[in-house]
Amino acid sequence: MTAPSFRRQGILFVISAPSGTGKSTLCGNLRATPDFIYSVSCTTRSPRPGETDGADYHFLSTEQFESRIKAGEMLEYAKVHQNYYGTLLAPVKKALEEGTDVLLDIDVQGASAIRSCSDALIRSSLVDVFIMPPTIDELERRLRKRGTESEEQIRMRLDRGREEMRNWRLYRYTILSGSMEEDLTKFRAIMRAERYLSSRLTLV
């Protein structure tokens, strides 16, 4: 008798967190494994030194970006400081249809847009995770430790962080951030559980 086997559609893992929580480092560690395809965002801002088109971002002109918006090609997008940022829908859907999991690092506004997506595949595949800093004081400590922002920028990030933290209940999962190792362990527990949900599996 042939042993049963399963196949499943891919999962769209969306991670959000206030700036300074450690989200980028967490996503970087996850990207180092073959577990996911990392969704590369589009932007109209100019490349920074060392950034590569197609790896860090897809760099588009404003006209190109707005053309994709009008054509319904964006899964989500936002305009921040006069520049567009967004995620193309087609490559995400293609990966999910092929059974490949997709990892998307995005803010609370983008996560909200994805939750509202009319595409049935996107809605059924979505697993959104919020990384919650232990306290505002700890978030401030982490921001200052980076040494990359001015005092004004730190204050702005803290104010925005407080606003973003109010959205944690909108997410399926919330991880209270600890060490990077702890956050990675917690996320992988979520990842394993979601991959074995009966509703995602088809017996073949």
pLDDT by residue (tens digit) across 16-61? Answer: 999 888 888 899 899 888 888 999 999 999 998 888 998 889 999 9
User: Which residue segment(s) compose the domain that 58 sits in?
Assistant: 6-196
Q: How many domains does the chain have?
A: 1
Instruction: Express each pLDDT in 137-147 by its tens digit.
Output: 998 998 888 77
Asked whether residue 204 is domain-assigned, the answer is no
Instruction: Express each pLDDT in 127-170 by its tens digit.
Output: 999 999 999 999 899 888 877 778 888 888 899 899 999 999 99
Q: What mean pLDDT, rounded, does the chain reach?
A: 92
Asked whether residue 202 is domain-assigned, the answer is no
User: For position 81, which CATH number holds?
Assistant: 3.40.50.300
pLDDT at 110 > cutoff 80: yes
pLDDT at 189 > cutoff 90: yes
| pLDDT score of 1 | 64
Sheet holding 37-38, edge to edge: 37-38, 102-105, 12-16, 126-132, 173-176
Sheet holding 83-88, edge to edge: 58-59, 42-43, 83-88, 74-80
Asked whether residue 10 is domain-assigned, the answer is yes
Asked whether residue 58 is domain-assigned, the answer is yes
pLDDT at 92 > cutoff 80: yes
